[in-house]
Amino acid sequence: MREFLFLLFIVSLVSGRPQKDPRGPNIIDETADFGTPEHDNRVHTELTQLTGPEIARLIGSDYFNGSVLPCDNETAPGQWMVYCSGRLLQAVMAVKLYPDSKTFVDQPMKVNQTGESIMEHFEKRFPKPIEQISKKEVAEFVDEFFDKEGNELDVCELPDWKPITEKLAQIKDDTYLAFAQRLHFIWIQLCRQMKPEVKEDPFRFSLIYVPYQFILPGGRFREFYYWDAYWIVKGLIASELYSTARMMILNFAHIIETYGFIPNGGRVYYLRRSQPPFFAPMVYEYYLATQDTQLVMDMIPVIEKEYIFWSQRRSVNITLETQEFNETVRMFQYHTEADTPRPESFREDVLSAEPFTTKSKKRAFFKDIGSAAESGWDFSSRWFKDHKNLTTIETTNIVPVDLNAFLCYNMNIMQFFYQLAGNPLKHMEWSSRLSNFRQDFTKVFYVPVRKGWYDYNLRTGSHNTDFFPSNAAPLFAQCYDPLNSQLAVDVYNQMENSGAFSMSGGIPTSMHKETNQQWDYPNGWSPLNHMIIEGLRKSLNPTLQQKAFVLAQKWLETNMQTFNVSNAMWEKYNVQEPQGKLATGGEYEVQAGFGWTNGAALDLIMTYSDRLEYKGPLLEGLVGTPPPRKSFSSSSSSSSSSTSESSSTITPSSTTGSSSKLLAIITVTIFYFLF
C-alpha cells in the first residue's frame, strides 16, 4: 500500500506541478546577471567602446566572397542565401533583432516564398548600406517573409512510453525512485516530429528533415543534436523506450546516407561541421539492450560510411621524432572547412573577430571557432593559446585525445559487429586497424612523465597537460589495454591531484577559472561527468570502480537538489556549489530540458540502482513527505555496477515484495490512463 500511494503521488506530481522560475535565489548565483558582460560571452566586455553604427558596419563587411560558407548551393540549394550568407542575415545581426542570434536562422520562410525571392525583395527594398537599415525596418521585413521559429515541429507521443517500467521499479531507494520517475516523464515533453511540410517543401526551412520522431535537448535547441543523442539514447534505454531509441538511430542513418556524415545538429547551417562521433556507440548500446542483430547488420555499412568522412576529411599526419628514426602517423582532429561567422552566432563571431585586422586572420579565427563548435566544447580554455582569451583560439592546431579515443571505440565496435555478422575477413580487417591505431594513439597522446593522455599541439609539438575531462576519454572508450589496470589508476591519480574531484557538485570542465567560457571552471556537464564515471567503472580495478560510484553519487545529488528547487533538468551546473546551482558563461543563458542531462542521470541511476541511497536533506519539491523506509540487508552484491565490493553494497530485503511493486505498477498504469 505504501508503494502504491507513493507512485500515485509521483504521477500526480509530475503531471501537475509547474516549473519554477529558474532565476530563483536557491539555484542562481546571486552575483550573476544573465546578459551582462560578467556572465555572458566575452565579446560584451571586449568591445564596449564600439557604437551601434560601428558594430553595424563591422557586421556588414564582406565575409562571404572567396570564403567557404557553412552551407552553399550544393548542400542547401534553396536555403543557403538566407541562412548561411547574405545581406539579410547581416542586417538581422547588425540591429540585434533578437537577443539570441539563433532565433532568426531557425525561422521558416512563409508559404509560397523562396530564398531567391526573399533576397530579391530585400535587395530591392534596402539598396542602402547595412548600417543605414533600422531595426524597425528589419523587423517588419522578417515578419512579412518568415514564420515563427519552432512551429515546424509537432509534439509527439512516445509509442513505447509507460508511466513506470520494470527497470524503474527495481530502484531500491525511495528518493532515487521518485527522481527517476520524474526524469522518465520528461521524455514526453521533449518528443518532437517533423510536420509534413518540412518533407514536402524542404527549401522553406533551415530544419533538416528526418523521417522519425526524436528527442531534442530542450530550450533554444529546437532540433536534433549529434553527440547529445548518445546520452539521450542511454536514458531512453534506461526508460525501456527501445522503439524511440531505434527511431533516433534510424534518423541518424538517414542523415548519413543523405550527407555522408552527421552534422552538428539538424539545421542546414550546421552542414560544414559534425560533432563527436557517437553513432556507432549508439547502435552498440541499443544492441546490448535489445539483441537486435538485424539493426546491427543494417547499420554496419552506414557506420563505415561515417568513418570514411572522418578518415578523409578530419585527419592529419603527425611526425613523431625519436632518437632512432622519424615516424609519421595519422590521427583525427576537429577541422571544419567553413571560414565565415557561424550563422547561429553571427553577431558574436564578428564582434569576437574585431581585433583581427586582416581578412585572412579573421577567416582563420572563424575556422577555429567553428572547429571548436564541432568538438562540442564551444568554448573552452582547452583551445586557447593563452588558456584565457577567445581571441587566441587555435583549435585547428590541436589533435584532441577524446576525438581519437572515440574513433578508437568506433573501430572496436566495428570489429565486434563484423564478428557478430559472421564475416571473419572484415572482422580481422577492423581488429588489425584497431590494434595498429591503439599503438599509434599511445605514441601520440601518452606522456610518461605525467602518466596520462593529453591533447597534442601541432604548432608547438607538445602536449597540454592541464586537467580536462577529455583526458579520461581513453578509459571510457577503452583505447588501451584494460589488463594494464595501473594505467587507469595513474590517470585517476593525475585527475585527483589536479583538484578536479574536490568539487562538492561534480567534476568541472577544467580548472581554468577566469575565462567566463561555458566549457571551463566551475561548470560541470553531464556527458563529461558520465564519461569519467563510466571510464572508471569499466576498469578492472575494484578501487576505481568504487571511485566511480562515489563520483556518480555526487553528480546525481547535484542533479536532484537542483531539480528539487527548479523542477527542471539543466544543460550544465556550477559544481563548486554544495547544493547545485546553474552554470553561467558562454553565448546564451543556461537551458532547461535537458536531453543529455536527463539521459546520463537515468543511466547512472539504473547502473547503481541497487546501491544508491540518498542520505541528504529532505527534497520536498521532489518527493514531498517521504514514505517509510524499507528494511535493508547487506548480503547482496552489486551486479549492476560491475564492482567486486559486495561487502559495501546495501540492497533492500527481497521479502518486502516484488509482487507488491508489480501490483503498484499495474495500478498506477490504470490510474494514469483513466485520469
DSSP state of 213: -
Per-residue model confidence (pLDDT) at position 472: 98
- Whether 378 sits among the annotated catalytic residues: the reply is yes
**Segment (H or E) for 434:** helix 424-445
User: Which residues fall within 8 angstroms of residue 316, CB to CB, at 6 or more apart?
Assistant: 330, 331, 332, 333, 335, 399, 458
Per-residue model confidence (pLDDT) at position 548: 98
User: Which residues fall within 8 angstroms of residue 502, CB to CB, at 6 or more apart?
Assistant: none
Q: What is the rounded distance in angstroms from the CA atom of residue 105 to the CA atom of residue 206? A: 7
For cell 563520483, name the residue: 551
Q: What digits encode the pLDDT tens for the residues 256-287? A: 999 999 999 999 999 999 999 999 999 999 99
Among candidate residues 258, 302, 259, the one with its CA nearest the CA of residue 280: 302
Determine which one of 40, 152, 378, 520 is catalytic. Answer: 378
User: Which residues fall within 8 angstroms of residue 581, CB to CB, at 6 or more apart?
Assistant: 27, 28, 29, 505, 562, 573, 574
Where along the chain do its domains lie?
46-145, 153-277, 467-618
Per-residue model confidence (pLDDT) at position 640: 36
Q: What is the rounded distance in angstroms from the CA atom of residue 19 to the CA atom of residue 21? A: 7
Per-residue model confidence (pLDDT) at position 19: 40
What are the C-alpha distances in Å from 595 to residues 101, 157, 591?
22, 16, 10
Set of cell numbers at residue 104? 532568426
Measured from the Cβ of residue 13, the count of other Cβ atoms closer than 10 Å reads: 18
Set of cell numbers at residue 591? 537551458
DSSP state of 446: E
Per-residue model confidence (pLDDT) at position 215: 98
Per-residue model confidence (pLDDT) at position 26: 39
For cell 539521450, name the residue: 232
Burial of 655 (0-12, 13-18, 19+ CB in 10 A): exposed
- Whether 571 sits among the annotated catalytic residues: the reply is yes
Per-residue model confidence (pLDDT) at position 471: 98
Burial of 489 (0-12, 13-18, 19+ CB in 10 A): middle
Determine which one of 571, 587, 589, 603 is catalytic. Answer: 571
Quick one: angle between helices 174-190 and 595-607, nearest 10? 150
Per-residue model confidence (pLDDT) at position 64: 97
For cell 582532429, name the residue: 333
User: Are residues 648 and 546 in contact, defined by beta-carbon separation less than 8 angstroms?
Assistant: yes
**In which residue ranges of the chain is pLDDT below 50?**
1-48, 625-675
